[in-house]
Structure 1
Amino acid sequence: MSRNKILITGASSGLGEGMAKTYAAQGRALALCARRIERLDELKAELGAQASQIATAALDVTDVDTVPVVFGALRDELGGLDRVIVNAGLGKGAPIGTGKAHANLDTVRTNLVGALAQVEAAMEIFRAQNSGHLVLISSMSAVRGLPKAQAAYSASKAGLSALGEGLQAELAGSPIKVSVILPGYISTDINAGVKTKMMTERDAGVAALIAAIESERNRVVVPRWPWTAIDLALRHLPASITRRMV
């Protein structure tokens, strides 16, 4: 099924920007949201000759009352939405109990509460249309709880994955599809400072992400190597082993 009208949150940088550029090159219609409207306007000017249509809107996903208003306005501007990619995210954090609760609370507000607000808004549109593809950009960190500064981030992404799984159970066999995508390390701002040999270059990571989204499968780990093997290990090996992996 062709999904020509696509809304992407967190589209001003990183994976969101990469997805916007790829879909624009395919001639699709895009609704791009992010807090930095000036960067979205730059992106619109850059991609306008390729995409069939581009609409932009400033959006802070933690302003939960504004999310459905913005989504509704963008739907109206594009004449409907075929796919919503819940991508906006925050990666800051600190070891729990070290006096930096604000960093962990901000991460959970953005990655889980803000994501739920996006899911609510997207699903209201899709239920009215009786069609659509909801894409949740989770993380490999959702597979097993991570320690120290990544604990809250890991928990927020696990919650997002659970939201997707619940909707998949509810909507099985319906015209509304839900995909949970779990990226490993891809070279973006959110992974700045991470030193690992498993880091994937951004363009390759975006290509893998787009392929996963287009498959419309329920759950996809990207890039496939080495993260499929790591996913299996984290899910099935005992904690005595996996704690040394994380």
Structure 2
Amino acid sequence: MTTPDPSRGPEPEPTKPAGTATTQYKDRVYRSPAGVVGGVLVLAIIGWLGIDAVVVGEGRTPWLALAVMLFLVPLVFAYTVRPAVFVNDDRLRVRNPLRLIELPWGRVASLRSGFSNEVVDDSGTKYQLWALPVSLRARSKAARQESRAAARAARAEAGQGSGGRGGRADLGGAVGAADLGAGAAVAAGGPRRAETDQAMDELRELHERRQEETGAQGEVTVRWAYEIIAPAAAGAVLLGVLWGLG
């Protein structure tokens, strides 16, 4: 089997007889860049302060520092760096802070956007998409940009209509033509959307295309992230013991 050349884009999916497996490609991954960057910075600060306390601290200070790091590091990692959404032609995998949810497209009922982005399965159970946080500020910014682009396009059309009436009108027509080009470029790309809203649109489109396919059927699975819960619980217990000892 030859490996597809990435520079040529994705290879077309080969035609296969009914009942055979289709070619699978790597999952598309959605993350929150701001969350990842913020989490890495917080983890760096915790590590710096904690290691310093372990090295130079006296008495119970090193043990307290170890307990705090054992408690905080898994939780900070879980709520900032860990969240991700993985999608392919058959299923949606949601990696939230404390759970991993796998939903075949055939079991997805809807993808909702409000004050948070959620996926709802066919039993009505909701799962929040931590990796795609809603930003009301980003939505407002996108709406303002779209309004300005529409206003420029309207002024450009008016300028073109009066472009043949003298020098000032000619100047207005020239400016209007430039604005029309900008407005047309925006229109060609569709309405402006916040980044997470664009991601949700892509997920809805893929869901619509794939929900009836044979390979997109199966059961919803939910797994708890014990690799996060166990060390955080151990750190909490150690903190409680040290606190109780006074």
TM-score higher than 0.5:
no
Greater C-alpha radius of gyration: 2
**TM-score normalised to the size of structure 2?**
0.21
**TM-score normalised to the size of structure 1?**
0.21
**Structure (1 or 2) with the greater helix fraction:** 2
Name the structure, 1 or 2, with higher relative contact order (CA <8 Å, separation 6+). Answer: 2
